[in-house]
Structure 1
């Protein structure tokens, strides 16, 4: 049966949607909102998945509520400003997505600027100076600016003293974009792994140099107890060991780089180095996502008393599903999780490591199921 462009899979829901039309409320506010992973849910590499556009069309108003349903893109990917990422994915999907709807693995680092705005920080990941451009204060729109003022990259450090990594030669293009620094007068205060590093060999070496010397690269090593009790803060933004691209099998992600760094540091010192983990499935990231969705809902429909149901649609049980399930355990939180079969998770290899609220073949079926579920609940509540 076809209603509002949606094929309802359960005949028993026909009466539900007829009843929805009769419900008279003071607000058109929809009872739910969505959080989508990108890779493996909406996209396969640079290409939209076939179901993605139909799913987003439902949220634009082609649904039983006849209203716009708020959504965000919550990804462990990164490497761009939110402005640039929203423009890129808007073109790919054919839907207008604002920067505020994009939460990347490193977006939450905007909240760390107050602590490190004027301190030298080392930023890892991406190509060349891409991550410097994301992290530092720029004369560009406010939403695109993070605000760190003293951002350095491994290329800057190699340009300052090439003997730091004698087995790697920086290219002329790298050197032309480098900001040479006096390593003895610019102690690194924190290391932010914004995005997946390209040169693990160099990056692990420089991280160990920073940590073991108390921030002064090339300086004498400090005692191990001091390294661990008063550590240089290390932040990893993406815990994913693997991720799904347009290649046939999953690829290693930033989580693999973290494991490599920890293995080397432990081999050197016998200890594991303390770190902060951001990104899915961390609680901090889901709290940030929930606040963003609630703000978007308030802007569209005004203040509200009860929070909406939030559906996390993802392809990775270890990040998308685990994080949403953990968020659901918080007081006054209404997260549900839907695992799709278009990305990392392969249903042929057995059940997922974290049990979702529901499984769906693709994102279109996932969105349809969530809308049907909340519509049924709304009708049931009105009939009491």
Structure 2
């Protein structure tokens, strides 16, 4: 409700101010709120007709916490649907056509009065062009505002790097210059692997703000906006957020751990035991190589975690990998990882 009120306040103060730009069309805050009220009326009519008096709470209509699925591409209609559902007292279930990250990223900028400018679908050429268009080296920027914040998932950054490498030197210079002008660049869903992070930083000057969220609750974990951001991790819980995977977070905090996954492996005595799979920091791997020893042992990890985790959460098995296998969204598939570990134990 607070988000809806904040956006409605923007519409009242600056009715004609741009809120969304999509497919060569601009939607103002006033138009967005108008569409929200219209959709709210349609929700009320639909639920009142379907459930008769069940949608009325204390004499006033309400969705009463009902879950409302929204299947739509990132668009003004999608945002209006989200806001209408929230204002009506419902719970939004975004049924993403492609991937929910872009859809979820629409709401926060509107909450603070920003403009959301997005493409109909992910396009390497389109994104680089949009950045160069916002910050041309000759200083003649397009009318309509510039891009200041960009967010994506690991696969998107991988594709953007590939696209950059395919450019001619002049276009590379223009693209690098444009990207360096942005205030913030973020990576969601999973942490960007360290080698790619270093490559991205060398081209754009940005060490991405890695964070993690889900469709159901938004962003929960994040590296600091200001301060040291640890590569290969999505950070720690944001204020007011609690997480249950404390074994994983504990291992993440180890200074020699770049990436980590914690899962349960079958055990004849206990049913399951806590297993940690880590990718060591490059410096830790180099020291281990020079000293002809493992980058980390189970005993070292257990000793380090003793005063940080409850005894039953301390890993009893450890696997050290050079890198994780990831799916097309940059995430580690734990089912496949578990199968791999079980094969290694045979």
**Fold match (TM-score > 0.5):** no
Name the structure, 1 or 2, with higher relative contact order (CA <8 Å, separation 6+): 1
The TM-score normalised by the length of structure 2 is 0.26
